[in-house]
Amino acid sequence: MSTKLGAIHSFLSSGCVPKHIRPQSEVLRAEDFGLKKTNGKFSRTIWPTLDWWKVFGDKQLNLLVQEGIANSSDLRAAEARIRQANAIAGSVESELWPSLNGTAEFSRSRTSLYGRGNGAWSKLYDAKISSYFELDIWGKNRAALKAAIGRLKSKEIERYATQLSLAHSIVQAYINLDQLYSELAIQQEMLETYKSLLELTRQRYFADLDSLVSVKQALAAIPATRAEIASLRESLELTRNQFVMLVGKGPDRGLQIEEPSINYADITMVPDNLPAELLGHRPDIVANRWMVEAKSYDVRVSKAEYYPNINLSSFIGVQSLGFSNLHKRNSYEFSVGPALSLPIFDAGRLDSNLADAISSYDLAVENYNAGLTGALQDLADQMTSLKWLKERLKERLKERPKEQGEALKTSQESADLALAQYGAGLVSYLQVISTQSVVFSQKLLLSQLTSRGLSLYAQLNRALGGGYSPDNLPLVSDISSNLLEPRNER
């Protein structure tokens, strides 16, 4: 008895996976980059919420993001991919259960008069129910199901990554619109100032207090400013047109967008270091991680193909040459028994399939590693830019910084004084226009820094994952163990 069991065990384990076909890539870990856990302190203060754009306090922006998410073709395509992956997972799961089929056949035949028969006619009735069940002792079907589930999770998370990208694009376009409105207001103020200067210069000219050169200089500044205003208005219309695609509506929707009323966000909460938790908060990284998990199970499926496959099949039914005998006891038939198959020669098919699965796994790993390093650089860039912007801006997004506020105040006082002295004939036109230029340069600088701060804040929210938080994340150790199954490799 023991000899028979030993022979059976030897036969069942005779399938061998070639040892030389191995993965060439390794999944990077947080510690490979020197990232440290923050014990939750980082998440309470830095991680954005799912509706992170609401921090800007603009109802119109909130509505635009809402419309964009509701009308996005990219999101609908992502949802279709989720349904497709879910259907595939359901199909794969069915392989874990027995199948049951019913058949009914009828045939009428005649034998040859000159052959073995006598030219007689006959009718054959056959009806049966058959079943099939694969034992899956090497876990091939279970691994295939886990691979399908991994792909499903990857598609689900890709959907959120698509939504995050869309929301960021809408917010960034809205910030650009806000900056254009701000610069347009400054240019219009400049135009009114230059018109007043032109009128004052003409009065001084007719009073023989100034030269025609000063009048020409004052006049020349107006067309240039008007040209800049026209350019800004063009940019405003082009920016409005971006929302046609972003929110999925016609050109009239862009025309309905009013001047933004952003409540300048607090960007002082900038992390001092890169957190290890970033790996679980970036949807693109998590989606790639699940794809690595799925590909590792594909390798496990390919390895299981080398081992014997055992299934149970059975049927029960009735068969009769005449319909009148079909219900009789002796017309019943049945069969039940196991079937075992083992690959002996396949001209390298299994080796090629395994090499393909492992190459796909390596590709998924490298995509994940590249995405991870790119995400770390992305966040590091935002942190660096925000840090130095704070040095320049000094919390401008909450209230004007002391340095910039004093600089603008001093410039304005100097310009007002120069204008008064110009009216009294104490300074030249060039001195007046010089002081006015400094004022408007300061205002434009503040506008640009404010817009830059808002953009960096939006980019930081995107770089931190936009409020995404996964339920779980495949462990590197689990992924590695999948590459070792089945265990009896040579």
Question: Which residue, among 148, 79, 470, has the nearest Cα to 291 in the 3D structure?
Answer: 148
Instruction: State how far the Cα of 466 lies from the Cα of 454, in Å rounded to an integer.
Output: 15
| pLDDT tens, the chain, 490 aa long | 455 545 545 544 555 777 778 888 888 876 677 665 544 444 445 677 889 999 888 999 999 999 999 999 999 999 999 999 999 999 999 989 999 999 989 888 877 777 776 777 888 889 899 999 988 888 899 999 999 999 999 999 999 999 999 999 999 999 999 999 999 998 898 888 878 777 777 776 777 766 677 777 777 778 888 999 999 999 999 999 999 889 988 788 878 899 998 887 555 455 555 566 666 788 999 999 999 999 999 999 999 888 888 889 998 888 888 787 877 888 888 888 888 888 888 888 888 989 999 999 999 999 999 988 888 888 888 878 877 777 766 544 444 444 455 555 555 555 555 555 555 555 555 556 656 666 777 788 888 888 888 898 898 888 888 888 877 666 655 666 666 655 544 3
Give the pair of three-digit tokens for residue 152.
Answer: 């499903």
Region of residue 126 (phi > 0: left; psi between -120 and 50: alpha; otherwise: beta): beta
Residue 20: C-alpha distances to residues 17, 183, 197, 421 (Å): 9, 65, 84, 89
Q: Where are the alpha helices (DSSP H) in 330-428?
A: 349-393, 402-423
The count of residues in the chain is 490
> Residues 263, 269, 275, CA angle at the centre, nearest 5°?
135
Superfamily of 17-97+139-307+347-482 according to CATH:
Outer membrane efflux proteins (OEP) (1.20.1600.10)
Crossing angle for the helix pair 140-206 and 429-463, to the nearest 10 degrees: 170
List the one residue out of 267, 353, 288 whose CA is nearest residue 158. Answer: 288
Is the CB of residue 126 less than 8 Å from the CB of residue 143? no
The CA distance from 309 to 158, in Å, is 36
| Inter-residue contact 54 to 232 (CB < 8 Å) | no
DSSP 226-250: HHHHHHHHHHHHHHHHHHHHHTT--
Q: Matching CATH topology for 17-97+139-307+347-482 and 99-134+309-341?
A: no
Angle of CA points 426, 427, 429, to nearest 5°: 140
* Residue in the structure block whose two tokens are 């000899």: 3
This prediction has a pTM of 0.80
Q: What are phi and psi of 372, to 5 degrees?
A: -65, -50
- Judge contact between 285 and 365, C-beta under 8 A: no
Please state the separation of Cα 222 from the chain's center in Å: 48
* CA 307/CA 349 separation, integer angstroms: 14
Q: Say how far apart CA 164 and CA 284 lie, in whole Å.
A: 10
Report the C-alpha gap between 175 and 181 in whole angstroms: 10
Contact between 102 and 128 under an 8 Å Cβ cutoff? The reply is yes
Distance CA 260, CA 250 (A): 20
CA-angle at 484, arms to 482 and 485, nearest 5°: 75
Show me where the domains of the chain are located. Answer: 17-97+139-307+347-482, 99-134+309-341
Cβ atoms 333, 363 nearer than 8 A: no
CA distance 191 to 204: 20
H helix and E strand count, the chain:
13, 4
Whether residue 39 contacts residue 275, with contact meaning beta carbons closer than 8 Å, is answered with no
To which CATH superfamily is domain 99-134+309-341 assigned? Outer membrane efflux proteins (OEP) (2.20.200.10)
How many Cβ atoms are within 10 Å of 211's Cβ, its own excluded? 14
pLDDT of residue 309: 87
Closest to 296 in 3D by CA, of 357, 255, 354, 237: 357
Instruction: Return d(Cα 207, Cα 276) in angstroms, integer.
Output: 74
> Using omega within 30 degrees of 0 as the cis cutoff, is the peptide bond preceding 271 cis?
no
How many angstroms separate the Cα of 435 from the Cα of each of 204, 299, 316, 418, 425? 19, 72, 102, 7, 16
Q: Write down the residue that tokens 């025609």 correspond to.
A: 212
Contact 297, 482 (CB under 8 A): yes
Tell me which amino acid residue 15 is.
G
